[in-house]
Amino acid sequence: MTTLLNSISDISPQPFVSDDNALSYRSSNEYGNRSGFSSIATGSSEGIVSGESTALSIYSDGELKEGFRVVALPLAYGDSITLSGTPVSTTYTFPSTPTPGVYEVVFSFSLVSFPETRSSFYVLDRDNEQVIGSVISGGDLRIAVLYQNTTLNTLEFRVFSSSGATSTLAAISEVRRVSA
């Protein structure tokens, strides 16, 4: 049997789902023509990754989390691009104040080759030192570090040896920015 609704509170609310249309109005409409229905798009993680749609949408936590994850990862570890800074022997001068993030350095060391001559490092907003590799040569343990000077906007490549020496026979040939 159908019963009349006496109060709007008799209508039980339910979670909004993608087929629902919302009763809406625009205050700018002419008198008597203010009501309509608006469809509200359901956002998806694929849509966020694409980023093309400007339609206002409703998202679930799951879609937002997955969308953010897929967008964020390539930003932190994307395709690297070479910077136009100036390498002079052990010191590289950034073309401008570098944006914090993940970078790569390509280096060489004339006494002995490291297993790899490319290493990742972080650019941060304070002067810092980061160990990027170690190798044994001529009976010595050699450890390579990068020193970022935030005042001079430089990156210095240093190789310390267990013989107590700090080698200058090293060079930075290229710096690449990984994070977008």
Partner 1 sequence: MADLTKKKLLSEYPVRPFITGDALITYRSSASDNEKIGRSVINAGTAEGIADGSDSALKMYSDSVLKDAVEEMAVDAIYGGSTLIESAIGGTSIAFASEPELGLYLVELTTPAGLGSLVFEITGRDTNQVIGATVIGSDLVNIVGVYDSSTTTMTISDVRSDGSTNAVVIGDLYRVGA
Examine residue 9 and tell whether it contacts partner 1 (CB under 8 A). Answer: yes
Asked if 122 interacts with partner 1 (CB under 8 A), we say yes
Q: Where are the alpha helices (DSSP H) in the chain?
A: 45-50, 61-76
- Of 18, 55, 112, 173, the one binding partner 1 by CB under 8 A: 55
Site mask for partner 1 (CB under 8 A), range 81-120, x = bound: ------------------xxxx------------------
Q: Which is nearer to partner 1, 140 or 174 (CB)?
A: 140
Distance, CA of 172 to CA of 87 (rounded, Å): 6
- The tokens describing 173, both together, are 């040939």
Task: Determine the length of the chain.
Answer: 180
Q: What gap in Å lies between CA 160 and CA 132, rounded to an integer? A: 12
Report if residue 36 touches partner 1, rule: CB under 8 A: yes
Pairing of strands 170-177, 81-82: antiparallel
- Could you tell me which stretch among 79-87, 104-112, 123-131, 168-176 binds partner 1 (CB under 8 A)? 123-131
- Contacting range for partner 1; rule: CB under 8 A; set: 33-41, 79-87, 89-97, 105-113: 33-41
